[in-house]
Structure 1
Amino acid sequence: MRDLARRRPALAQLRYAERRDAFAGLTLAERFALIHRTNLWGAAETTSGLGSELAATAALRAGLHDLLGRYGVRRLLDLPCGEFGWMAAVDLNGVDYIGGDIVPDIVTANRARHAAPGVAFRHLDLLEDDLPQADLVLCRDCLVHLSFANIHRALENLRASSARYLLTTTFPELPENGEIEDGDWRPLNLQVAPFCCPPPLEILLENCTEAGGDYRDKALALWRLEDLREPGRL
């Protein structure tokens, strides 16, 4: 496994470190609104960050439609959806899509630009809100920005939803997880402490090239939500 200390910092980490003081005292929603408003993560195409640019999502766009078909997904909840840039290029034929985000301005803009039959957007807080019915929740590039406590809250809320599957970001070669402030970034391996998730049903590698390939294990991993239990619980 690649040692976390050997990975060069990602742009999101560097940019957050430069502006850390600006986040003092902010709520979770205010933190992500500030990130969006200032394009803190520094991507040219989208305020959702480098990982949401079209070139960075080519592998996902090629594989996501087939994955949804294999698991009979007819309703997809994408939370957080960000600016819907790369997802707009995914073949969602036969799938009802709901994009949710904690930042109201993102939701308003997405409704104006992208809402259509079978494509809707809602203001949602992953940690606190009752989630709309869906077969699968796509939670990409989200938990990597949350503290351990709020990751646990997010997973608890997801388990309480009606969804059958969770498709979320993980770094399977990472040997241990580090703590952060909400809004910062670090890689996250959901199969090691403090999460200890079982092996996923599938892994969809993203072919990430950031930091000279130091994050090339970045992937979306698929779990049955009923298989995700808090460590120590049967």
Structure 2
Amino acid sequence: MSIKRFRSRIRKFLRMKPTSTDPRDLKARFTDVYERRCWGSSESASGPGSTLDSGSVHRALLVLPQMVERYGIQSIADVPCGDFNWMPQFLKNHPDIEYTGYDIVDGLIAENQKRYPEVSFRALDITTQIPARADLIFSKDMVNHLVESDVWKAIANMIRSGATYLLITSNGDPVPNEELPRNFGGMSRILNLRIAPYDFPVPLHDDGYLAMWRTSDLAFVLDRAA
């Protein structure tokens, strides 16, 4: 997504009427977004970035198979899985992948499990809970919605899971990272994990949208999140 579109979305959410929810309660925050369909997409409860014609979905469907083949990935933890709108396309072509989808919104997980009983889904707050081990943790369009302290906590718990690899959204736009304007609704901003204050090392893969690291190269995150 371009800087212009990101700023337009931020302005949209700043105009929204806040709820009485404690902004520190991420489960309540994202449950409210889901129930009010704040993302504004008629196709996907997870928003335009999860529709089948989305450029970010096309990118994910290109990169995920490449990483699976190149690094021998046999299991994936999808954090967050959202409404699972596009992931069936990937799993259809990779039936041997052991997949678990995680999301903080209980209602979303319940709906996913009802629609896809053959798939494993679990409710999880990645900032406070550790998912089960998988070869790869895939995290599309999540950390850009979190305040800086929660970004560190989330990635630390991904590392604590014992996963070997982390494939995560990291925007390559040449702008400094800024704090989330407000911990409210669908607020978002461009976030680049390769520059300050994160300064992640050179990744195994980086296309300006998705970047992949060995979690063993990210041990310093555990100290920052403590």
Shared fold (TM-score greater than 0.5)?
yes
Partner of 1:212: none
1:131-167 deviations in Å (ceiling 9; x for gaps): 1110000011100000001001112111211101111
Partner of 2:104: 102
Unaligned runs of 5+ in 2: none
Moved over 4 A (4+): none
Q: Percent identity?
A: 31
Partner of 2:16: 19
CA distance, structure 2, for counterparts of residue 94 and residue 15 of structure 1: 41
CA distance, structure 2, for counterparts of residue 35 and residue 81 of structure 1: 15
Q: Which amino acid aligns with 1:102?
A: I
1:163-203 deviations in Å (ceiling 9; x for gaps): 01111001113331010133410010001111100111012
Partner of 1:228: 218
**Corresponding residue pairs, total:** 215
Q: Secondary structure at the match of 2:151?
A: helix
Conserved 8 A contact 2:135-2:164: yes
Conserved 8 A contact 1:11-1:41: no
Unaligned runs of 5+ in 1: 206-216
CA distance, structure 1, for counterparts of residue 8 and residue 104 of structure 2: 22
Partner of 1:190: 193
* Mapping for residues 83-94 of structure 1, pairs under 5 Å: 83-90=83-90, 91-94=93-96
1:191-226 deviations in Å (ceiling 9; x for gaps): 1111100111012x4xxxxxxxxxxx4x11101111
* Mapping for residues 1-234 of structure 1, pairs under 5 Å: 7-10=4-7, 12-19=9-16, 21-22=18-19, 25-26=22-23, 27-56=25-54, 57-90=57-90, 91-116=93-118, 119-180=119-180, 181-182=182-183, 183=185, 184-203=187-206, 205=207, 217=208, 219-230=209-220
Deviation at 1:8, TM superposition (A): 4.5
